């Protein structure tokens, strides 16, 4: 009798009072791509961490090819044929793709590189790549590779233990462009054809329909549904409804009310940063959201950094509420009334070891620390609690270290931190990467609220997000501004501007 590649029976896991997983029964077949879906905090990461030996289950059993296994650590899991590629794979930038794949972590030991058998390496590489062909040049250093090339190297590295049968991918496309995604999906197709079982966590529902054979939905730590993707398509089922347990109306809040538009809070004139972007001009009024759509490499990241004083402008002007400014550091930008909610919360957004209140109140030391310290603490807690409720933070425990929250919930904390800051201008970069669809609607609603008392700029590589949310939008393409902020631009017009640099009415 043939067994599934992996089977979990009644797997449960608690973290203190939180039931992260309850009685999960799950089957992963060889040669299938199986998507794991669920809102933030539903239990997806906990589940894959148990499968990959990072966490220990409290109850239940796991079988690989019909044999019960027990993984005390990730090495055990790899021994049983289960490899995992994390969201931000750790590769050695100075090594080539080949070296990363075949020397793996071992290569980080000093002196080892000089002792390796290069001819043997090349032989192994050739036979391995005959099994999993990829269209990238693996002789280049990883530091010079694009996001998708690094992702592919990380996947090949995970598979380089020859006996790997199960590959777990944690949101592999969260930082990839459309074109890059295609390259990754091609590799996943090859893996599937080679009989590898791929377990794939994603928040991008359209991807599930594109790449997965079956999907499973987690809700509140329980596995609530498993089904073939073909059924979802045929019956036109709503994955968002399945994940949330309820139907979701339009995720975007209503656009601005013309009467509520206030004074100009930011004016940017012919702003340039040499080699990154040139002559960008736009203004933002209190009461509105201005959207800037740009793909990775378009200059949007650098523009956000320049507005926030973290990347110098080479020419041009900025004014906040009529005052001319030229922020030379984020601190100066904050003092001028500009606040940035960064896209990469891990690097720039959060003090992970501190609790949620600390993080939320961090950006506004005056407001947070006032002379009546005790009262302040109380009001900080009250304000933070209010934000946590409005964002549906899960679990709603503000004293917990931020590292204990799921990725999407960490993103909510970054936004709450911005809400606490009382700025005149908010720059919000990639606000919903890794955020589930229900929380996304809440975040959008909050941004609209923010725009009542401030000007908001939303910068994103998701065209639908920019178009759905912003009152006026334009695109950046290869460092150039395409079009002026317009309320009339169509979604397709904005898309064309951002991916081709064309300014057309479509």
Ligand X SMILES: Nc1ncnc2c1ncn2[C@@H]1O[C@H](COP(=O)(O)OP(=O)(O)OP(=O)(O)O)[C@@H](O)[C@H]1O
Residues that bind ligand X (CB under 6 A): 15, 18, 20, 38, 40-46, 394-395, 404-409, 436
Question: To the nearest whole angstrom, how small is the minimum distance from the Cβ of residue 345 to ligand X?
Answer: 11
Q: How far is the CB of 308 from ligand X (least distance, A)?
A: 26
**Shortest reach from residue 222's CB to ligand X, in Å:** 11
Angle at 13 between CA 7 and CA 14, to 5 degrees: 170
Nearer to ligand X by C-beta: 46 or 298?
46
Cβ neighbors of 166 (< 8 A, separation 6 or more) are 5, 6, 28, 51, 64, 81, 82, 83, 196, 197, 199
Judged by beta carbon, residue 20 or residue 334, the one nearer ligand X is: 20
- Return the structure tokens found at 124: 């192994």
Return phi, psi of residue 215, to 5°.
-140, 155
Pull the structure tokens for residue 419: 């809400």
Axis-axis angle for helices 373-391, 437-453 (nearest 10): 130
Residue 291, strand partner residues:
458, 473
> Measured from the CB atom, is 65 or 207 closer to ligand X?
207
Residue 216 C-beta: closest distance to ligand X, Å = 12
- Smallest distance from the beta carbon of 489 to ligand X, in angstroms? 32
Burial class (CB in 10 A: 0-12, 13-18, 19+), 120: exposed
What are the tokens at 52?
């990959």
Of the pair 96, 174, the CB lying nearest ligand X is at: 174
3-state secondary structure (DSSP) of residue 486: strand
Comparing CB distances to ligand X, the nearer of 183 and 352 is 352
Which three-class secondary structure state does DSSP give residue 158? helix
For β-strands 472-477 and 289-293, DSSP reports them as parallel
Beta carbon of residue 198, minimum distance to ligand X (angstroms, whole number): 17
Name the minimum Å distance from CB 224 to ligand X: 13
**Which alpha helices (H) appear in 291-355, and where do they start and end?**
300-307, 330-335
Closest to ligand X by CB, 49 vs 192, is 49
Q: Between residues 95 and 405, which has the closer beta carbon with respect to ligand X?
A: 405
DSSP-assigned beta bridge partners for residue 268: 282, 318
Decide: helix, strand or coil at residue 457: strand
Which ranges constitute the DSSP H helices of 392-490?
407-419, 437-453, 463-469
Closest distance to ligand X from the beta carbon of 14 (Å): 9
Q: What are phi and psi of 257, to 5 degrees?
A: -100, 115
Residue 405 in tokens:
């929250």
Judged by beta carbon, residue 262 or residue 404, the one nearer ligand X is 404
For ligand X, give the closer residue by CB, 22 or 379: 22
Pairing of strands 197-201, 264-273: unpaired
Taking the C-alpha atoms of residue 473 and residue 489, their distance in angstroms, rounded to an integer, is 7
**Angle 244-246-251 (CA atoms, 0-180°, nearest 5)?**
75
By beta-carbon proximity to ligand X, the closer residue of 14 and 376 is 14
CB of residue 18 to ligand X, shortest distance in Å = 5
CB of 46 to ligand X, least distance (A): 3
């Amino acid at each position: 009798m043939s067994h599934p590649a992996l089977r979990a029976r009644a797997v449960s896991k608690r973290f203190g009072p939180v039931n992260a997983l309850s009685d999960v029964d799950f089957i992963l077949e060889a040669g299938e791509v199986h998507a794991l879906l669920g809102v933030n905090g539903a239990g997806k990461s906990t589940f894959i961490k148990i499968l990959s030996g990072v966490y220990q289950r409290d109850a239940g059993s796991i079988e690989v090819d019909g044999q019960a296994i027990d993984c005390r650590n990730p090495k055990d899991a790899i021994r049983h044929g289960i490899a995992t590629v994390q969201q931000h794979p750790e590769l050695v930038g100075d090594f080539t793709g080949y070296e990363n794949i075949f020397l793996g972590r071992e290569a980080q030991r000093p002196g080892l590189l000089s002792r390796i058998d290069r001819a043997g390496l090349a032989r192994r590489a050739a036979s391995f790549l005959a099994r999993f062909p990829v269209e990238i040049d693996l002789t280049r250093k990883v530091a010079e590779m694009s996001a998708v090339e690094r992702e592919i190297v990380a996947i090949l590295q995970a598979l380089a233990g020859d006996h790997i049968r199960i590959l777990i991918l944690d949101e592999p496309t969260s930082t990839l462009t459309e074109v890059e995604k295609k390259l990754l999906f091609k590799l996943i197709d090859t893996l599937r054809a080679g009989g590898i079982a791929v377990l794939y966590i994603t928040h991008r529902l359209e991807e599930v329909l594109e790449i997965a054979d079956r999907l499973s939905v987690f809700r509140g730590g329980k596995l609530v549904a498993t089904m073939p993707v073909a059924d979802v398509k045929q019956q036109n089922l709503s994955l968002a409804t399945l994940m949330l347990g309820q139907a979701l109306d339009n995720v975007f809040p209503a656009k601005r009310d013309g009467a509520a538009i206030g004074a100009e809070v930011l004016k940017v004139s012919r702003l340039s940063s040499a080699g990154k972007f040139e002559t960008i001009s736009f203004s933002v009024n209190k009461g509105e959201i201005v959207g800037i759509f740009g793909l990775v490499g378009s200059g949007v990241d650098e523009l956000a950094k320049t507005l926030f004083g973290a990347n110098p402008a080479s020419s041009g002007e900025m004014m906040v509420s009529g005052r001319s400014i030229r922020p030379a550091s984020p601190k100066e930008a904050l003092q001028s009334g500009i606040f940035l909610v960064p896209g990469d919360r891990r690097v720039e957004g959060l003090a992970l070891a501190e609790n949620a209140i600390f993080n939320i109140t961090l950006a506004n030391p005056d407001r947070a620390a006032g002379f009546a310290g005790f009262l302040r603490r109380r009001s900080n807690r009250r304000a933070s609690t209010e934000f946590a409720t409005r964002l549906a933070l899960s679990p709603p425990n503000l004293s917990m270290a931020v590292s204990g929250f799921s990725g999407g919930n960490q993103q909510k904390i970054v936004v709450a931190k911005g809400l606490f800051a009382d700025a005149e201008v908010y720059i919000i970069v990639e606000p919903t990467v890794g955020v589930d669809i229900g929380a996304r609607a809440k975040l959008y609603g909050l941004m609209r609220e923010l725009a009542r008392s401030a000007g908001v700029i939303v910068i994103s590589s998701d065209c639908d997000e920019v178009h759905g949310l912003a009152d006026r939008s334009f695109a950046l393409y290869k460092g150039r501004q395409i079009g002026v902020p317009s309320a009339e631009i169509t979604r397709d017009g904005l898309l064309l501007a951002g991916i081709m640099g064309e300014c057309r009415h479509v």
